[in-house]
Amino acid sequence: MSANDEDNKQQFRPEDHPNDHFLLTTVVGSYPKPKWLNRAKELYQDPESDFDGDNWTEAKDDACRLITNEHERAGLDVVVDGEMRRNEMVEFFAHRIDGYEFNGPIKVWGHNYFDKPSVVSEVEYDESWLVDEYEFTAGASDRPVKVPITGPYTLANWSFNEAYEDDDELTLDLADLVNEEIEKLVEAGARYIQIDEPALATTPDDHAIVGESLERIVAGLPDDVRIGLHVCYGDYSRIYPEILEFPVDEFDLELANGDYEQLDVFKDPEFTKDLALGVTDAHIAEVDSVEQIEENIKRGLEVVPPEQLVISPDCGLKLLPREVAYGKMANMVEAARNVEEDLDEGRIDVDRSTAAPADD
Amino acid sequence: MTDYVSTTPGLFPLPDWAKDDLSDLKGHQKHDLISGDEDEEITSVYEEARTEVLEIQREADLDRVVEGQLRWDDMLAHPLAVHDAVETRGIVRYYDNNNFYREPVVTDDLEFDGDIASELETATDLLDADDDLQAVLPGPYSLFDLATDEHYGDDEEFLAAVGDFLADELEAFPDHETLFLLEPSLVTDSPADGLDELASEAIDTVASATDADVVVQPYWGALSEKVHAHLLDADIDAVGYDFVSNQEDNLYNINEYGTADDISLGLVDGQNTLVEDPEAVRDRTDWVFDQLPVAEFDTVYLTTNTETFYLPFNKFEEKLAVLAEAASLAEVTPA
C-alpha cells in the first residue's frame, strides 16, 4: 500500500496497452447473474430435485468463468468474477463469520432487500471467505483480478447489533478479521483489494472509526498491494477531506447518479489519492453513449490528473439487465481509450486550478 | 387515570411473501417504484398484505391500528413521490440509514392528490367495529426537508405549501382516532431561526385539518430547546420522545419546557432485532415518569421510536406484541 504512487497503478497496465496515457478501467464488483444460475440455485434449494451440491458448485464455477470472460471481452484492464458466488455484500460474509444469525429480509430501497444479519455473540474468524473465489478467478483469466471485500464498518453498521456495547467495538473486531482474510488473499497472489464501505456515507461522523479500522486492515500488508475504498450514495462533503488521511491508494466514488453535482467537494483541498470515478449510473437500465461517458471521464480530470484517474461504474451492476451491464462496460472502456488518445494528442486541456463547475 | 395506548408510527415492513411478489411484479430499478397508478395485480398484492398486517396488529392487541403504509416505497417522501407536480430524480439516502428514496423535486403547485386518503379507505373497509384507526403522515417539516423545491422559490413559501398540501390530504381521510405526524427532520436537520416557528405553524395547519388526536413524533435524538418550545405552540395533543436514542436531552426538554397534555414514548427500538421484554418496557415507562416532577398525562402512547420497516418481519411482529403487553402492564400498575 503506497499512497499516490503512480507505479502502484501502472503495475496493472496491460503490456499491449495502445496509448501512452493509462486510465485503468475496472468495475466495482457485482454483475448480473446469468438467469440459468438463478435457476440452478432454485433447483439446488428444491428438496425434490436431484441437483446436488456438486452440480451447484459446477454451476457457480461456470458462471464465474463466463462473467470473468465477459469482463475481458468488454476490454476491462482489471476484472472481477462479478461476485457470482456471493448473494449479497453483508450476508455473504456474515454467513462465514461466527457470531451472526439471520432473521429474514429487510428493505434497502424499492424492492431491493437483504437478509440483514444480527450479531448475537462475539465475532470470530472461522473458514476463509474469499481465497477460493480469488484463486479460481485468477486461474480463469490472464488479466489482473480485483477482490472486493465488504469493510468492517459496513459489516457492523448493516447488521443488527445485539451483542456489543457499541458499534465501534464491533467494527474494530471485524477489522481484525478482514485483515486476517486479506493477508490470506495476498498470500494467494491478490494485488488489488477493494474495501467496500458504503455505510461510511450514512454516518459521516464516524470517519475516525473507519480510519482506525483501515489502519488495522492494512497492518502488515506489502506496499505494492493496491487498496481501494469504495463509498457511494452519500453527502461526500461530510467526509471530505478527512478521508484523505486513510491508508488507501484509491477512492472509488459514485458520482454519475447525481450528475457530478458533488464533484466540487473533491477539488479543495487537492485530491491526493487516486480517484476511481463512477462514469455510468448503476441504476439506470440504459447504456450510456461512448460520447457521454467521455464527457463524464473528463469531469474526473477536473479533480485529478490522468495519472491518478481510474474509470469505473458508480456501483455494482448486479441489478441491471445483463446486456445493459455489458454495454455500459464496453462503452466505458471505449470511452476511456478515446480519452487516453485525446490526452496523448494533447486534445484535452483541463486546468484543474481554474476548473469551473458545470453550469447545468 | 392515565390511559396507556400501545401503537406504532406505521411504515411497516412488507410480509416476506409480498416482498417477493412485488419484486417480481414491479422490478428493482428507480422507475419501478410506486407511481400511484399501479395496476390491478399489484394492487391486489398490497390489499392482501394490508389485510395481513391489520390482522397481526389485532392479534397483538394494539390499541391503535395503522394501515401499514406498505406502498410507501419512498418512505416519508411518499406523498410527494406519487404527486403529479413532482418529478422523481436520483435515489438519495434516507437520513443516516442504509435506505434510499427517489429525490422528489416539486415543479408545480402542490394541489390535492388523494393518494393516501384512498389508501386509508381500503384499510377502513377491512376494520372491525372495535378497531381504532390511526392515520400516519410525514410532518410538514420533514416532508419539506426530504424534497427539493424548483417551483415555490423560497423556503418559507415552500414549507407553508407543504403544510397546506398535507392539510388538504388529511381532510379527505376517513374517520380516524389518532394522527401520527412523523417529524424526524426536526431533530436531524433542525430548522434554523425563523423556520422553526414556521415549522410549528405548518404543523398547526395540518393538525387543524382533523378532529383526531394529533401526536407529533420526532426521532433520532432530541429536539433542540427552541424547536421543542415552538412545537408546543402548535395545537397538538402529544409530542413524541425517542428515549431509545436519547434519554437525557429529551428529559431535559420536558422538565424545562413541559409538554402537551398527552405524551408519546418511543421506548421500543424500531431498528434493532433485540426484542425487549414487556416488563422492561413498562419499567422504563415508570423510570421516565420518575424523572419528571409533574407526570400527569391523560394519555400515554407507547410506541417504537422509529418506523418499523427496518426490521425483519418476524421481529417486527414480536415487537408489536411487546408494545401491547407493556401498555397493559402499565395500565395495571401505573406509574
Residue pLDDT, tens place only, B189-223: 999 999 999 999 999 999 999 999 999 999 999 99
Closest partner CB to B30 (pick from A104, A162, A283): A283
Put simply, the chain B residues between 233 and 292 with a CB less than 8 A from any chain A CB are: 271-274
Which one-letter amino acid corresponds to residue B28?
Answer: H
pLDDT at res. A203: 76
Q: How far apart are CA A37 and CA A57, in angstroms?
A: 11
Q: Which long-range contacts (CB under 8 A, 24 or more apart) does A70-74 make?
A: A70/A31, A70/A326, A71/A27, A71/A31, A71/A141, A71/A143, A71/A329, A72/A141, A72/A142, A72/A143, A73/A326, A73/A330, A74/A326, A74/A329, A74/A330, A74/A332, A74/A333
Q: Which of B172, B85, B86 is nearest to B135 (CA)?
A: B172
Domain ranges, residue A115:
6-32+77-344
| Alpha carbon distance B19, A264 (integer Å) | 39
In this prediction, residues B115-125 reach a mean pLDDT of 96
pLDDT at A103 over 70: yes
ipTM: 0.93
Residue A358 lies in a domain: no
Question: B314 and chain A: CB distance < 8 Å anywhere?
Answer: yes
B91 and A162 within 8 Å at the Cβ level: the answer is: no
DSSP bridge pairs for B213 = B178
Cα→Cα distances B30→A33, A133, A279, B12, Å: 20, 31, 18, 21
Q: Pick from B90, B309, B314: which is nearest to A104 by CB?
A: B314
Residues 6+ apart with CB under 8 A from B305: B219, B242, B243, B244, B245, B266, B267, B268, B269, B270, B271
CB of B335 closer than 8 Å to CB of B295: yes
Q: Is residue A39 part of a domain?
A: no
Is residue A49 one of the residues assigned to a domain?
Answer: no
With a cut of 70, say whether residue A302 has pLDDT above it.
yes
Contacting residues for A148 by C-beta, under 8 A, at least 6 apart: A28, A29, A30, A80, A83, A194, A196, A230
Q: Other C-beta atoms within 10 Å of A349: how many? A: 8
d(CA B129, CA A114): 38
Span A62-71, average pLDDT: 98
CB-based contact, A202 to chain B, within 8 Å: yes
B294 has a pLDDT exceeding 80: no
Task: Specify burial of residue B11 (Cβ count, 10 A radius: 0-12, 13-18, 19+).
Answer: buried
Place A99 in a pLDDT band, splitting at 50, 70 and 90.
very high
Residue A358 reports pLDDT greater than 90: no
Confidence class of residue B1 from pLDDT cuts 50, 70 and 90? Answer: confident
What pLDDT is stored for residue A206 in this prediction? 84
Q: What is the pLDDT of residue A359?
A: 44
Cα B89 from chain centroid (whole Å): 24
Question: What's the CATH code, domain B22-255?
Answer: 3.20.20.210
Asked if residue A111 has pLDDT above 80, the reply is: yes
Least confident among A315-324, B37-46, B89-98: B89-98
A202–B98: do the CB atoms touch at under 8 Å? yes
How many residues would you count in chain B? 335
Give me the pLDDT at residue A349, please: 84
- Asked whether residue A72 is domain-assigned, the answer is no
Q: Is residue A360 part of a domain?
A: no
Decide if A71 is inside a domain. no
E strands, A218-261, in order = 226-231, 250-253
pLDDT tens-digit series, residues B238-277: 999 999 999 999 999 999 999 999 999 999 999 999 999 9
pLDDT value at A263 more than 60: yes
- Looking at the 3D structure of chain A, how many domains does it have? 1
Q: Which residues of A308-334 are buried (b: 16+ CB within 10 A; e: fewer)?
A: bbbbbbbbbbbbbebebbbbbbbbbbb
Cα A131 from Cα A186, distance rounded (Å)? 9
Structure confidence by residue, pLDDT tens digits, B7-52: 999 999 999 999 999 999 998 888 889 989 999 999 999 999 999 9
Mean per-residue pLDDT, B97-111: 95
Mean pLDDT for all residues in chain A: 94
Give the CA distances from residue A204 to residues A34, A283, B220, B272, in Å, rounded to whole numbers and listed in that order.
36, 23, 15, 20
Helix residue ranges, H only, B61-136: 78-81, 115-124
B-chain residues near A203 (CB < 8 A):
96
CATH number at residue A111: 3.20.20.210
